[in-house]
């Protein structure tokens, strides 16, 4: 399902949230709001601008298992603004994984 140029929240019962994969294109990325009830496996977000705190909040909720339990893949492309990757990775507690070692597994608690 593809969503373009929307700023209004969707009804929690919207079919958007039932789709396995969504592509969302917004001028100002509101990932936590627009994906609040998303139950799919893939999300592709495209935007001109974003708020780092919103992105960090979204990633924290996903990483903790608090939300987005089925989400396996997330791609975020911001066109006109630099994303401070190190700041965001540090804020969510991401760690470096040595390519020569077996990577850790992440399990999401069942709800």
Residue 16 has pLDDT above 70, yes or no: yes
d(CA 81, CA 73): 22
Range of the domain at 39: 15-92
pLDDT at 1 over 60: no
Task: Judge residue 105's burial from the number of C-beta atoms within 10 Å of its C-beta, 0-12 exposed, 13-18 middle, 19 or more buried.
Answer: exposed
Number of structural domains found in the chain: 1
Alpha-carbon distance of 15 to 64, in angstroms, equals 25
Give dist(CA 10, CA 18) in Å, integer: 12
In a domain? residue 106: no
The rounded distance, in Å, linking the Cα atoms of 22 and 4 is 11
Q: What is the model's pLDDT at position 42? A: 93
Q: Is 48 helix (H, G, I), strand (E, B) or coil?
A: strand
Residue 69 belongs to a domain:
yes
Domain assignment present for residue 70? The answer is yes
Structure confidence at residue 3 as a pLDDT band (50, 70, 90)? low
pTM metric for this prediction: 0.70
- Is 99 inside any structural domain? no
């Amino acid at each position: 399902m593809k969503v373009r140029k929307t700023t209004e929240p969707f009804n929690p019962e919207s079919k958007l949230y039932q789709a396995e994969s969504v592509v969302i294109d917004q001028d100002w990325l509101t990932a936590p709001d627009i994906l609040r009830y998303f139950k799919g496996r893939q999300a592709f977000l495209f935007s001109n601008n974003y708020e780092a705190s919103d992105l960090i909040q979204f990633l924290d909720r996903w990483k903790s298992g608090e939300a987005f339990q089925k989400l396996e893949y997330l791609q975020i492309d911001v066109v006109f603004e630099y994303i401070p990757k190190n700041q965001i990775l540090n804020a969510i507690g991401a760690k470096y994984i040595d390519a020569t070692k077996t990577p850790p597994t992440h399990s999401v608690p069942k709800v």
